[in-house]
Amino acid sequence: MASNANLTAARQSFVTHLECSMTGERYEADTLHGLSAVGRPLLVRYDLDGVRGAMTKDVLSRRPADLWKYRELLPVRSPDNIVSLGEQETPLVTLDRVGAKRGARAPIVKDEGRLPTGSFKARGLVMAVSMAKALGVQTIAMPTNGNAGAAAAAYATRAGIEMVVLCPDDTPEINVREIAAQGARVYRVNGLIDDCGAIVGAACKANGWFDFSTLKEPYRIEGKKTMGLELAEQLGWEMPDAIFYPTGGGTGLIGMWKAFDELEALGFIGAERPRMYAVQAEGCAPMVRAFEAGVEHADRWEDAHTVAAGIRVPKAVGDFLILRAVRDSGGAALAVSDAALLAAVDEAAGDGLLLCPEGGATLAAYDRALDAGKVGRDERVVLFNCATGLKYPMPDKSRTIDRHAAIDFASL
């Protein structure tokens, strides 16, 4: 990676300031911030005229294909603070059999499982940890349902920052062990992710740690927005008709919506936008309930349960940003059953792509949207697979052969 100019070249970051996502109040850049004064996420703002002069489509086409090619539109100013594990561009994979079965154009999966630590959490956490390093943070703490904690642990260890992670006690075992193996102190909590978050908040106040909870620092959004930048470039700077995104805290959906606004301001795309579909599980669907009720904030979802742990988030601090993007785009918030999302995982595997449960939820939601006429069968649709399916339990469908007995080869 040392030869990658994206990581080593002196390139200007055009950050001007941060602003409250609710009130628009301005905050200074290059200063450590959590939430705004009204308790809402801060958004990073840029001198887009300056970016336009430095980062053209032609310039981007000649850079190595990774997250850091967009540095003029990212917050890390010095390459000395980049904490990279090789965040390569993730592929677009068409589900041809899935499309043919439905008489539809093959849906496109953006397979984020190819990133470091095996999930799209690497995008957000590499940016957040790099900025923590730049701003002199010594210890960070966060709640997680698994993959975010694993990514944070990997990058924090690489940066020499102490990391503390709290997770629900039913977090997938491989994630818990991965977090510890990557150097963090990990604790299991008898509760859900927001219960873990409450303990993290109290511990940060007591111990002087920095709270890395979703959207409680400004820079995870900036890492996640590279999904939108990258997708637009991969599609020849043309927007898909619809995007289905597995939504817990919703950082990636918010980040992509921000990326599309910035790309339009740069003249890279027009005013067109994909319809954004926030996908949740029926056992934890606060955004769906709020969307259907026509309100801007989502109440906590009690007794949250789903096999798709990554979208089991009972309450999100960025709820209004998720709902605004969904509504402004003409999309919707959709909930699917665990049975449907697991069936979708099996079906996609028959097309050669192993989805995580949350990725399966997007395919199940695509089916719901097709059946309801929300998506046309000829439309270009992108589904986000947020993690490698290899991290999740799979049914054992193997059979046995007794090498000492007669083998009926015709039956194999």
| Model pLDDT for residues 230-270, shown as the tens digit of each residue | 999 999 999 999 999 999 999 999 999 999 999 999 999 99
- Can you say whether residue 147 is alpha, beta or left, with left for phi > 0 and alpha for psi between -120 and 50 degrees? alpha
- Among 181, 211, 241, identify where a domain stops: 211
In a domain, 261, yes or no: yes
pLDDT digits (tens, 9 = 90+) for 59-92: 999 999 999 999 999 999 999 999 999 999 999 9
Q: What average pLDDT does this structure show over 289-317?
A: 95
Domain identity same for 280 and 376: yes
Both 105 and 128 in one domain: the answer is no
166 within a domain of the structure (yes/no): yes
What pLDDT does residue 395 have? 86
Burial bucket for residue 349 (CB in 10 Å: 0-12, 13-18, 19+) = middle
Give me the amino acid identity at 105.
R
When pLDDT is cut at 50, 70 and 90, the band that residue 357 belongs to is very high
In this predicted structure, what is the pLDDT of residue 398?
94
Assess whether 234 and 361 both reside in one domain.
Answer: yes
In a domain, 232, yes or no: yes
| Residue 75 shares a structural domain with residue 96 | no
Q: Do 353 and 328 lie in a common domain?
A: yes
The predicted model gives 263-280 an average pLDDT of 97
Whether residue 1 has pLDDT greater than 50: no
Structurally, the chain folds into a number of domains equal to 3
- 406: in domain: no
With cut-offs at 50, 70 and 90, classify the pLDDT of residue 287.
very high
Residue 241 lies in a domain: yes
| d(C-alpha 228, C-alpha 260), whole Å | 7
72 and 50 belong to one structural domain:
yes
Q: Are residues 139 and 105 part of one domain?
A: no
Determine the average pLDDT of the residues in 18-33: 96
Asked if residue 174 lies in contact with residue 394, where contact means CB atoms within 8 angstroms, the answer is: no
- Residue 193 shares a structural domain with residue 276: no
Domain match, 54 and 196 both: no
Judge whether 395 lies within some domain. no
Do 18 and 77 reside in the same domain of the chain? yes
Q: What's the pLDDT at 2?
A: 53
Residue 156: which domain range? 121-211
Task: Please check the confidence at residue 135 and state whether its pLDDT lies above 80.
Answer: yes
The answer to whether residues 48 and 225 touch, using CB atoms and an 8 Å cutoff, is no
Please indicate, yes or no, whether residues 181 and 328 belong to a single structural domain of this protein. no
CATH number reported for the structural domain that contains residue 309 in this entry: 3.40.50.1100
Residue 275 shares a structural domain with residue 379: yes
